[in-house]
């Protein structure tokens, strides 16, 4: 795919996506998901082994760096004219890739935008080798965000069920951002939208407010029991293995 951006510009876009400044509205919540990915993905990879990886719905490939020492190849696929993508996704069509080509499929914050979940997960499975791994993060109780469409949310039970019905075995399930912290995130998002759309001079008050809320969310997450987060969280990271042929 042709691009007008240099490799350095593409890399900067990717880094900026996951490395937000501390006053950003989503500094804590996005940083928490990033940390969950960094900590939990390598747990399921073998040191010294090289994998063929498909980033399915790659966006700016924000988590490619996690696989840097494990990747034999890293292929990004996305809709539209995305300069970060190696393969263009045509809606409702199979990817022009060979069955069983990949050891790993990464799907980060994609499933909530997919209208045909069954088709998408079937493609993930088709393209995987036997016992291939799926690393999939998506929204639990996160707010609406259209990019370009926002279709669905998942309960912890519902997400596990739809993945397992698609021919995978869930081997790890990691929640991120419990409900108590999420209520603060929603309020902060409202304040940011109000200032941006209605009262722009208020931006001078927003930065200290945002910093206060980042700390508040961190403390709220600390006091939320893990069992509660596993039941209800803003994000989930699922690790699943392909079963059968």
Domain that holds residue 70: 7-178+225-242
Q: What is the pLDDT of residue 23?
A: 82
**How far apart (Å, rounded) are the C-alpha atoms in residues 115 and 101?**
25
Total domain count, the chain: 1
Global pTM reads: 0.91
pLDDT score of 2: 45
Mean pLDDT by 10 residues, the chain (245 residues): 60 70 91 96 96 96 95 95 91 92 96 94 96 96 82 94 96 96 95 89 89 96 96 96 88
Give the full edge-to-edge strand order of the sheet including 128-139: 87-88, 71-78, 51-56, 102-108, 128-139, 233-242, 168-178
Which helix (H) or strand (E) is 179 found in, with range? helix 179-197
Residue 191 lies in a domain: no
For residue 61, being part of any structural domain is answered with: yes
Let me know: does 217 contact 181? Beta carbons within 8 Å.
yes
Q: Which CATH number fits the domain that encloses residue 26? A: 3.40.50.150
């Amino acid at each position: 795919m042709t691009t007008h951006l240099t490799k350095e510009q593409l890399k900067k876009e990717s880094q900026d996506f996951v490395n937000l400044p501390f006053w950003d509205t989503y500094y804590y919540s996005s940083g928490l998901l990033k940390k969950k990915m960094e900590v939990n993905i390598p747990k399921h990879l073998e040191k010294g082994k090289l994998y063929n990886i498909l980033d399915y719905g790659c966006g700016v490939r924000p988590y490619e760096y996690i696989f840097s020492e494990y990747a034999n190849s890293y292929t990004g696929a996305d809709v539209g004219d995305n300069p970060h993508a190696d393969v263009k996704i045509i809606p409702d069509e199979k990817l022009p890739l060979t069955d069983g080509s990949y050891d790993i499929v990464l799907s980060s914050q994609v499933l909530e935008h997919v209208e045909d979940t069954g088709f998408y997960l079937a493609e993930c499975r088709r393209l995987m080798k036997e016992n291939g791994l799926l690393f999939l993060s998506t929204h639990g109780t996160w707010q609406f965000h259209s990019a370009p469409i926002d279709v669905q949310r998942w309960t912890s039970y519902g997400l596990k069920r739809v993945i397992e019905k698609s021919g995978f075995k869930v081997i790890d399930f990691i929640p991120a951002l419990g409900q108590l912290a999420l209520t603060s995130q929603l309020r902060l998002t409202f304040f940011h939208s109000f200032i941006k759309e209605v009262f722009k001079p208020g931006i001078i008050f927003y930065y200290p407010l945002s910093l206060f809320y980042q700390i508040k969310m961190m403390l709220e997450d600390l006091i939320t029991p893990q069992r509660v987060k596993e039941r209800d969280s803003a994000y989930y990271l699922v690790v699943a293995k392909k079963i059968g042929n």
